[in-house]
């Protein structure tokens, strides 16, 4: 295969040539004193020359015979390097012939400003730090008055998701998304820490799954010879913590749901859940508003947020829309919440339902079709029917409803909260009803009652509010990324059939 101009063969040949000269193409270390960004920021035209010692990946190269310019990129940004044969000597300069785009190099020298005005490291010493055997699809990037114009960048989404390492190496803006993601998570942690919440870790491997309606991933523990499930939610364990007296508790963790994948769903995703004793869902609406307003200010300043061409203002307070009122406003008859009545309403609105879908599913479907798309600005949907929410407390004013809200943004739910159900008798009845649903074919209902959870509730759980936040989706909104795969470093993909 290896014709002489095939990039990978060429690189292997250069590597062999280096080793023949006694140059280690993968040295153990190279002391770095500076980052590209610091050097550029700290440069002064007057005064003695500023020493510079950097390392980075070669992302562009212009060789002129006895001189060469290249740009190297480190974690902070990129900086130009200027190599002269008369200053480096023939032997050191000949390294230039063995450097390819994508190689890591170390450069020591001093800063100067070129004729065209770019702050540049004039090299006194050059070393190859790691030879790249595989070419990166490096497009050309031109700094144009602060704006980086890029040419011929890889646009193939599959490549970007499957080879995120190359995507990151080639697209600085991809890294920006993940820096923003880290800021979001840091903000959430600080937000809760500052309010006295304790961060905990609960099991990802669970003998009984619960806390949400979803099909689980199933696995097996060999030593115990027992089936275990990857958690679909943290809820039931965090409530156990509240039973134990951790009045304010939270967890940021991966949940796993064995369901379809799309722009808003990845099989493993990051969930924040937090619980506060002696609070109710109304308190948490305030908290949700504070949280999002704070995040928007943290990431963008101000209260404006744009997502995929739509712009909203997140200023408080947000409208509170009662679930059944919203459906009624669309013409749905919600006077009878029995399954037959709802099924006929669904038919009237052209919503197909299957026999195993209960009243809750139908309500959910009607709501998703008729109401959700219109919820562009921040809003709370509140007071859901009890059938939809087996873990929420019955509404103090209307026993058909529960004390629950979902926070919406850009037509999509990003948070879900209840006044938590703490009556162990009511909770048992609802969990047993779920198991019956499972027996009737509902694959999203848990198949056994979590007796240990009920035991915990029987010891007594104070009145408590709880909220779950889909962190990935929140990051999508805050970073204006169109797909959940753009905010997960290594999203789930179908396994590659054949390599290379």
For the segment 238-277, give every residue that binds RNA (CB under 7 A): 260, 262-263
Residue choice 12, 50, 84, 300 for contact with RNA (CB under 7 A): 84
- Asked if 227 is part of the footprint of RNA (rule: CB under 7 A), the reply reads no
- Asked if 493 is part of the footprint of RNA (rule: CB under 7 A), the reply reads yes
φ/ψ (deg, to 5) at 115 = -55, -35
Q: Which is nearer to RNA, 29 or 155 (CB)?
A: 155
Phi-psi region of 22 (alpha: psi -120 to 50; beta: other; left: phi over 0): left
CA–CA separation, 301 vs 297, rounded Å? 4
Residue choice 26, 63, 278, 463 for contact with RNA (CB under 7 A): 63
Least CB distance to RNA at residue 213 (A)? 12
CA–CA separation, 463 vs 423, rounded Å? 9
- Asked if 472 is part of the footprint of RNA (rule: CB under 7 A), the reply reads no
Least CB distance to RNA at residue 161 (A)? 6
- Asked if 5 is part of the footprint of RNA (rule: CB under 7 A), the reply reads yes
CA–CA separation, 134 vs 137, rounded Å? 10
Least CB distance to RNA at residue 314 (A)? 22
Least CB distance to RNA at residue 261 (A)? 8
Q: Which is nearer to RNA, 142 or 329 (CB)?
A: 142
- Per-position x/- string for 155-174, each x denoting binding to RNA as judged by CB under 7 A, each - no binding: xxxxx-x-------------
Least CB distance to RNA at residue 19 (A)? 17
Task: Give the Å distances, CA to CA, from 34 to 74, 75, 161, 186, 258.
Answer: 10, 11, 31, 26, 46
- Asked if 482 is part of the footprint of RNA (rule: CB under 7 A), the reply reads yes
Q: Do 37 and 29 meet the contact criterion of CB atoms below 8 Å apart?
A: no
CA–CA separation, 318 vs 405, rounded Å? 12
Task: Identify the three-state secondary structure at position 464.
Answer: strand
CA–CA separation, 229 vs 233, rounded Å? 11
Choices 21-29, 31-39, 59-67, 221-229 (CB under 7 A): range interacting with RNA: 59-67
Sign of the C-alpha dihedral, residues 244, 466, 305, 478?
Answer: positive
For the segment 127-146, give every residue that binds RNA (CB under 7 A): 135, 137, 139-140, 142
Classify residue 480 as exposed, middle or buried by CB count within 10 Å of its CB (0-12, 13-18, 19+).
middle
Least CB distance to RNA at residue 155 (A)? 4
Q: Which is nearer to RNA, 279 or 388 (CB)?
A: 388
Least CB distance to RNA at residue 3 (A)? 5
Q: Do 389 and 426 meet the contact criterion of CB atoms below 8 Å apart?
A: no
- Per-position x/- string for 336-375, each x denoting binding to RNA as judged by CB under 7 A, each - no binding: ---------------xx------------x--xx---x--
Q: Which residues, 6 or more positions from 229, have their beta carbon under 8 angstroms from its beta carbon?
A: 205, 206, 207, 208, 209, 216, 217, 218, 219
Q: Report the interface residues with RNA, using CB under 7 A.
A: 3-7, 10, 60-67, 69, 80, 82, 84-86, 100-101, 112, 114-118, 120, 135, 137, 139-140, 142, 151-159, 161, 260, 262-263, 351-352, 365, 368-369, 373, 482-483, 485, 493-494, 497
């Amino acid at each position: 295969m290896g014709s002489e101009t095939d990039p990978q063969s060429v690189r292997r040949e250069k590597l062999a040539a280096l080793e023949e000269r006694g140059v280690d193409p993968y040295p153990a270390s190279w002391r770095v004193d500076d980052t590209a960004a610091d050097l550029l920021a700290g440069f002064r035209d007057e005064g003695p020359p500023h020493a510079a010692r950097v390392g980075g990946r070669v992302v562009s190269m212009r060789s002129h015979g006895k001189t060469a310019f290249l740009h190297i990129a480190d974690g902070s940004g990129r900086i130009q390097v200027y190599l002269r044969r008369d200053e480096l000597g023939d032997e050191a300069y000949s390294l230039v012939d063995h450097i390819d785009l994508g190689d890591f190099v170390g450069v020591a020298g001093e800063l100067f400003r070129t004729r065209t005005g770019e702050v540049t490291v004039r090299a006194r010493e050059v070393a190859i730090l790691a030879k790249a055997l595989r070419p990166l699809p490096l497009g050309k990037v031109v700094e144009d008055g602060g704006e980086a114009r890029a040419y011929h960048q890889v646009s193939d989404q599959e490549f970007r998701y499957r080879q995120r390492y190359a995507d990151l190496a080639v697209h600085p803006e991809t890294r920006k998304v993940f820096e923003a993601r880290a800021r979001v998570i840091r903000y959430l942690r600080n937000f809760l820490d500052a309010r006295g919440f304790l961060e905990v870790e609960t099991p990802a491997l669970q003998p009984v799954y619960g806390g949400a309606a979803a099909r689980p991933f199933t696995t097996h523990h060999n030593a115990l010879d027992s089936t275990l499930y990857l958690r679909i939610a943290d809820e039931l364990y965090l409530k156990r913590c509240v039973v134990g007296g951790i009045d304010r508790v939270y967890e940021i963790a991966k949940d796993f749901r064995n369901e379809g994948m799309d722009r808003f769903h990845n099989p493993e995703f990051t969930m924040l859940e937090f619980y506060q004793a002696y609070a109710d869902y109304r308190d948490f609406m305030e908290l949700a508003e504070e949280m999002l307003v704070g995040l928007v200010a943290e990431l963008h300043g101000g209260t404006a947020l744009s997502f995929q061409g739509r712009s909203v203002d997140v200023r408080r307070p947000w409208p509170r829309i009662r679930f059944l009122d919203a459906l009624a406003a669309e013409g749905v008859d919600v006077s009878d919440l029995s399954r037959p009545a709802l099924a006929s309403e669904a038919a009237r609105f052209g919503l197909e339902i299957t026999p195993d879908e209960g009243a809750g599913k139908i309500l959910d479907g009607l709501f998703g079709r008729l109401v959700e798309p219109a919820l562009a600005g921040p809003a709370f949907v509140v007071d859901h029917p009890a059938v939809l929410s087996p873990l929420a407390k019955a509404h103090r004013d209307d026993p058909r409803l529960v004390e629950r809200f979902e926070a919406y943004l850009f037509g999509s739910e990003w948070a879900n909260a209840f006044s938590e159900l703490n009556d162990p008798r009511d909770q048992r009845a609802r969990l047993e009803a779920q198991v019956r649903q499972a027996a009737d074919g509902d694959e999203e209902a848990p198949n056994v009652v979590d007796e240990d959870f009920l035991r915990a509730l029987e010891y007594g759980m104070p009145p408590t509010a709880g909220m779950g936040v889909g962190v990935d989706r929140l990051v999508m909104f805050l970073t204006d990324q169109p797909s959940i795969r753009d905010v997960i470093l290594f999203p789930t993909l179908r396994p590659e059939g054949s390599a290379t």
